């Protein structure tokens, strides 16, 4: 390690810069907060070698809360202030055998000790979160952990936590341990005001909290869409909305996006005759089922008034669309996990509860585009069925628009990649702005098409590049043009 005079000369010469006491960087331009965040544990281990990540920070897997990391240390008692990060130490027993290895040679409390430690009462300071979790936060933490663990985990956790409470010299917390874990397991009553996730679990409607957080973020965005995005408040239904032209293309494009590809002429024959091709019967049923679902002017505008109706409409529409694929369990929720690439959708055991909990946000949204965008993402993100989730999600979205007397949203072939990218960015990083702009462009396109005239429609499809393969379009710099 360089001596202090050597470091001081290097700082004076501009070769390094001082970030905090004892912390230097040779990067002259990087943001200090970002540097600290990237090297957080290496810095903590250097300055507080006996640090044990504990309390709220252990429950959040080491993620800072309000810019604070909580630790146990008997070498340092004063808080450590770094750019963008405060380290708050407290005295206490060092690592137990159950505590886990952490980054940079540090340790983090194991799950049983994390439960015991967080039963200590603490208060928030200067508007920041308290050192330990509240009772509601502990309830949610236990349920979330239980969702990821095998059967019997809670029983083992209870035994370990009861033992550790004695080892740490806090046997009075044993009663709280029994009550908390008993409420999650179902052997003790749930207290009034319990965490929503615990209440849902006991009602048999346990949900995915990470997805609900994303739905909350999207609902908040859609309730007050920034004016600079220039999303129309209203687009009237185009002429021809009630005849077969628009419903045909709505069904055709919705299936094409999912890989059910026919030529327009083939699809027109399937719809006109109601007969599926002998060599592709399931694909033909997909086209017919989707068309019949969106062609009925009354049925396609039906929207749910409550969660029960939502679940009913969801399964009925899935049955109608996927009825030609009995191997995909039409109208029944998935029994095994499904995923797109490495992205895993909601666990089968959490599907119904997540759908119900997410639906509670719909009533707070303006009718029309906001509700349509929310419903589309809700069904797509939960992915409640083995197959057909995208088609059903678009049907439910367009139902919200039809019910509000507005133009529906159709995603043409050329727009497939942009649409899927927007959905993926919203799922993974919360890009609601990109999602809203993408849907709004397709909405404008749909509203401007001359669906009342089949020949004019064919011409406009070509002129707007709607039928161009989306990957070819990207390579050639072609985009969906507005009619």
Give 398-420 as a DSSP string.
Answer: HHHHHHTT-------GGGHHHHH
- Whole-model pTM: value is 0.83
Amino acid 290: pLDDT: 96
pLDDT higher than threshold 80 for residue 438: yes
Amino acid 9: pLDDT: 67
The residues spanned by each domain of the chain are 1-30, 32-202, 210-476
Residue 312: enclosing H or E segment and its boundaries? helix 307-322
Per-residue pLDDT, averaged over 144-159, amounts to 93
Amino acid 135: pLDDT: 96
User: Which residues lie across from 108 on neighbouring strands?
Assistant: 53, 100
Amino acid 3: pLDDT: 61
pLDDT higher than threshold 60 for residue 466: yes
Torsional sign, CA 42, 46, 47, 50 = positive
Which positions ≥6 away from 403 have C-beta within 8 Å? Answer: 301, 302, 303, 367
Amino acid 241: pLDDT: 63
Picking from 95, 88, 89, 85, the residue whose alpha carbon sits closest to that of residue 72 is 89
Query: Hey, how many other C-beta atoms are within 10 angstroms of the C-beta on 210?
Result: 10
Lowest mean pLDDT segment, chosen from 38-42, 61-65, 330-334, 361-365: 38-42
Picking from 57, 358, 60, 346, the residue whose alpha carbon sits closest to that of residue 196 is 358
Query: Hey, how many other C-beta atoms are within 10 angstroms of the C-beta on 98?
Result: 16
Q: What is the percent of the chain where pLDDT is above 70?
A: 93
Can you state the angle between helices 389-403 and 245-257, rounded to 10 degrees?
150
Instruction: Quick: pLDDT tens for 397-408.
Output: 999 999 999 999
DSSP string, 165-207: HHHTT-GGGHHHHHHHHHHHHTSSPPPTT--HHHHHHHTT---
Residue 55 to residues 59, 112, 145, 153, 448, Cα–Cα distance (Å): 7, 11, 16, 21, 57
Distance of alpha carbon 294 from alpha carbon 247, whole angstroms: 6
Which positions ≥6 away from 231 have C-beta within 8 Å? Answer: 225, 369, 436, 437, 440
More confident site: 160 or 36: 160
Task: Quickly state the pLDDT bin for 180 (edges 50, 70, 90).
Answer: very high
Picking from 50, 192, 58, the residue whose alpha carbon sits closest to that of residue 119 is 58
Instruction: Quick: pLDDT tens for 102-125.
Output: 999 999 999 999 999 999 999 887
3-class SS shares of the chain: helix, strand, coil, % to 5? 55, 5, 40
Helices (H), 323-387: 351-359, 369-382
Instruction: Quick: pLDDT tens for 52-90.
Output: 999 999 999 999 999 999 999 999 999 999 888 999 999
Task: Quickly state the pLDDT bin for 5 (edges 50, 70, 90).
Answer: low
Mean pLDDT of the chain: 92
Instruction: Quick: pLDDT tens for 183-212.
Output: 999 999 999 999 999 999 999 999 999 999
Instruction: Quick: pLDDT tens for 288-345.
Output: 999 999 998 888 999 999 999 999 999 999 999 999 999 999 999 999 999 888 899 9
Residue indicated by tokens 């909350």: 216
DSSP state of 65: B
CATH architecture observed for domain 210-476: Orthogonal Bundle (1.10)
């Amino acid at each position: 390690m360089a001596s202090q005079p050597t470091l001081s000369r290097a700082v004076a010469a501009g070769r390094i810069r001082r970030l905090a006491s004892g912390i230097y960087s040779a990067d002259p331009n990087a943001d200090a907060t970002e540097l600290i965040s990237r090297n957080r544990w290496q810095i903590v281990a250097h300055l507080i070698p006996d640090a044990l990540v504990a309390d709220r920070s252990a429950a959040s897997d080491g993620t800072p809360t309000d810019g604070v990391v909580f630790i146990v240390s008997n070498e340092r008692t004063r808080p450590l202030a770094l750019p963008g990060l405060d380290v708050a130490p407290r005295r206490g027993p060092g690592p137990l055998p159950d505590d886990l290895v952490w980054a940079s040679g540090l340790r983090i409390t194991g799950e049983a000790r994390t439960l015991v430690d967080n039963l200590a009462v603490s208060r928030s300071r200067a508007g920041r979160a308290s050192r330990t979790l509240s009772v509601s936060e502990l309830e949610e933490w236990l349920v979330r952990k239980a969702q990821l663990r095998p059967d019997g985990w809670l029983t083992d956790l209870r035994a370990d936590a009861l033992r550790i409470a004695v080892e740490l010299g806090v046997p009075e917390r044993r009663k709280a341990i029994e009550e908390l874990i008993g409420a999650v397991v179902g052997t003790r009553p749930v207290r009034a005001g319990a965490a929503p996730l615990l209440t849902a679990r006991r009602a048999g409607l346990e949900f995915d909290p990470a997805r609900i957080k994303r739905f909350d973020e999207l609902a908040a965005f859609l309730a007050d869409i920034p004016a600079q995005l220039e999303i129309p408040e209203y687009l009237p239904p185009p002429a021809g909305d009630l005849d077969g032209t628009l419903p045909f293309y709505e069904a055709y494009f919705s299936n094409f996006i999912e890989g059910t590809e026919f030529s327009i002429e083939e699809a027109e024959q399937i719809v006109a005759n109601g007969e599926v091709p002998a060599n592709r019967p399931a694909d033909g049923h997909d086209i017919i089922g989707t068309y019949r679902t969106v062609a009925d002017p009354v049925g396609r505008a039906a929207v749910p008034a409550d969660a029960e109706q939502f679940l009913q409409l969801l399964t009925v529409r899935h049955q109608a669309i996927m009825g030609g694929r009995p191997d995909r369990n039409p109208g029944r929720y998935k029994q095994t996990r499904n995923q797109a690439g490495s992205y895993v959708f909601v666990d089968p055991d959490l599907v119904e509860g997540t759908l119900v909990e997410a639906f509670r946000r719909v009533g707070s949204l303006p009718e029309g585009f906001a509700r349509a965008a929310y419903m589309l993402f809700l069904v797509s993100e939960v992915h409640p069925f083995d197959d057909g989730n995208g088609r059903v999600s678009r049907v439910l979205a367009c139902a919200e628009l039809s019910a509000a007397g507005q133009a529906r949203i159709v995603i043409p072939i050329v727009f497939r990649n942009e649409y899927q990218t927007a959905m993926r960015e919203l799922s993974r990083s919360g890009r609601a702005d990109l999602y809203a702009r993408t849907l709004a462009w397709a909405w404008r396109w749909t509203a401007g098409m001359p669906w009342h005239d089949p020949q004019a429609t064919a011409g406009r499809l070509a002129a707007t590049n709607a039928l161009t393969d989306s990957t070819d379009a990207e390579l050639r710099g072609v985009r969906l043009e507005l009619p």
